[in-house]
Structure 1
């Protein structure tokens, strides 16, 4: 890109300064594989170091400036005692109507360029940096405004010297950045959209560049990485399928099994039985066959500038001390609880002690506690738990929609929750969702949890509860019970009881049930008296029929809410679903069939079969396609209040459309 184009884009972009850091490194100290969360300037002012930006090596002596884009990998090895500034900034294009401008920024983004040089006039840049640091440390709004002014002065001086040196920036290798990102985040619920957002590019541009370089699509490459990791775990550990699924980025064992059979050709259980000991015969050294469960997939940074990592301000401190700090924290809490002689839950002993000592005049106990912490007892499947009467800092690995509907915005949730389908259709502001910390997959990231200091943690998987209890007061609230799920309204009531918001929950339930009654009137007569309804899900590995109770994918809306009559098979299922073969499909089919996944991969084979075409409901045109389990999940995956409202509207629309 020409310098004039570079300057033009700087002039028309909104810049948000994320952090200003002034750090020092001792001789021999290293900052390794630090993934830039946003675009960044690094300016060394004293000492010398070897610096690598995405594999490109530089030697910095005294004054040297680097620029790297979001997602690039930074490594610093201090040769002498090193002092440097790092400025993290986030650019946003402000001209959505200038299509040619958008295309230019999408395909040739100067904020993603890599360049490095020794400035001819280092003091001019140093002056801007010292002023920038001073204003950044001010807490006033006026000081923050001044930060932007000084930052632009810094950029002006830098571009002026960049032009003087005739430096040729290096365009980022987008495919390489994407593969690094996939290998670091494969255990999370990532999509093509999230990868593109992480790398500040469009989905189309990313796909084209990735295919040109890798002869593969990003999502197919992600699936291959996950399958390779799953193979290692199946061969070399005794982890359950659920544990393997959670470790490699699948929500459950069922999803893993479907994908595994698609890519490998056999089920995970059969693969393990056949290859459990093959790894001992492999010629590759262990270092080249790393097991995912042993890897530390915790990342220092992510996309959200409001996240806790930006508030620490010292990436070196995080790398050197986080593991030690969390171990020390857990040990200190355990020792303190033991010293108090309490046998109650370790997560609430400090609060109970505060209640005991605060029963006298508050003025006499100021030196012991700032205020009395009120608590109450709630009953769970793991027994009674004492929790704060009014939790203010809630973290949860499930139930985001339930919490938000009750007016509770959690401080952190599991990654998958932040991408639920109801969010974009709910009218809730993006800022609200952006302020919620991404805590990774099951179990939630313990380091982030510790830093966030939640006063209540909600866990939905029993085996993770002990881990959470070491950090804070924890309540076990299972989402799935075996292969069935409790009724969505019952779940909502359970959540409301934790927060004393039963009245708010019942008010919404009453309003929702009124909508259900209105929906019943609209569809009255479509399902005739004596007719039955089936719900069929098409998966890549076969057919699933959903049960009358305990199912998912909208079955509660169809059967419990709208009270459409199920077949005998659906009534007698012990679990929430049953997998069947195509040959026995007619036995499970009712007079009307709701079909989930009709447009998904592999559906054509079933829908074009003579068995399917011979089903009476199909012949009569009484099949209702209502959802998809494709890459972007829909409103039938979850059962929170927002999803239930969307499901109700969708089912009514589908039925009425078919009736016409």
Structure 2
């Protein structure tokens, strides 16, 4: 990073809000090691005594005197103490308040200087040491004023550090984001990973991560993840007798079916057939087993390409071949038809062939005239669509469509298993006729076969693929990290199909149910009291926002109008991810808890911090829902789910009063 970039770094320090996560003072004995510690946030490491070898993502440094290091979230840190070593580590999180100038937003998203690595011996080490000692002392205090003092001292430390950095013309090194992501994938491939969670782990934007990874690795992050999973599955298939379910769980797939489906995509045959064919190959192979994965990656030439979180077929050759096949079949049918027609004309020479042709042409013209279209406005501009689409495929909005009386010809797999379906009263025959189109993006082969006259896409990146198959309307479900209210969503989808009246009729009925529900729970939340919603997620603890949230927040806040806390009102992303230690600061007088039966929740519920929450002590906590294997009606926000959510929220509130 040149001097100008260092100026950018200094400017950003004047723009960001800094949250100190931890101040650590550590002593290591000679020979002791801290290995492969992945920084959870940005960090300063300052060795004050002794010497050590320090690696920052493989970049080696020798600290024989006071030495300072900096690294960003996701960086791999290894320390080997050459003799007794003493150091301070400050973990901090920079947050850019929004709205802000676009140049600063760009820097934080694309070239975040808080991720950069640098290491140097300070020219005035005592000036930094003095501030670290004061910082540690104040960090151990509990008074709010002391916490404010911690920030003041930290900024003094940063000022002194940047001053010395500038004087010595130190050039920070941009981290190799692709390498960080690849290392993270190899360490966590058995866990649930999406592009979003990977970017979150590395504290960068999804787009920037995807571009950097593809540029460096000639591959997308999620496709690379699946290659890693496949390589490990191959090893287990060849060298163990483990069941497919056991292997699936070991390498990160939900179940044996998911593993088998993906395996066929990558290898062209089922896991069982692969195992039978190659079970003893490893005994005779020339490559050592440690190189097996590399060989598999090089020889594998899958017909699938991954975009961000999801699988995608390559859309050129495959679709072209499909279309040629369809054309060939149609041509064959036409030839047979003409042959039959010709035979018929020979048998009946008095038939007026010219008259028949005229009638056929007239019929075609009449049919063409009956195909009516209309224009709908979308975020991608005005789109001409059929006035009354008959064959709709959609990657989202399943419940919305059914409530409007529209039965799609195909939807994503997960939508066919949404929790509200079993409680909706819909006939099984309705569900039986809907094609499973896989995950994002929907399977293009199946889409082509279904010949939809309208495709609804909720993800912008998939539009180009869908448009090659049929008329596509872009209707985003998520907008950044927040989501439009479910009623707004319902109105948007109804406008596409000209079903506004049907939508308003349901909305009126639902609002009456909400009014009745308010009467039932009147008095439980007293005047002046506030309500919070906590979600125990698989990868963290979340507090949901008053607007733009999910998991029942719209029912609790927008529909029932239960009063949110100030913190919930100020969240711009639909949620805030918090640590257990600061959770009480976000909680109101009454607390709804989503996912209390999910993995990891028990530890939180049994913690002293949780048990000390005033709402917990007063019994004003209401448990509902699950985002784990027992996914329920709070996962979606369609009309069917909203009706079920309303009933559930009322029940848990009333049950809490008994």
TM-score (norm 1): 0.50
Where relative contact order (Cα < 8 A, 6+ residues apart) is larger, the structure is 1
Structure with bigger gyration radius: 2
TM-score (norm 2): 0.50
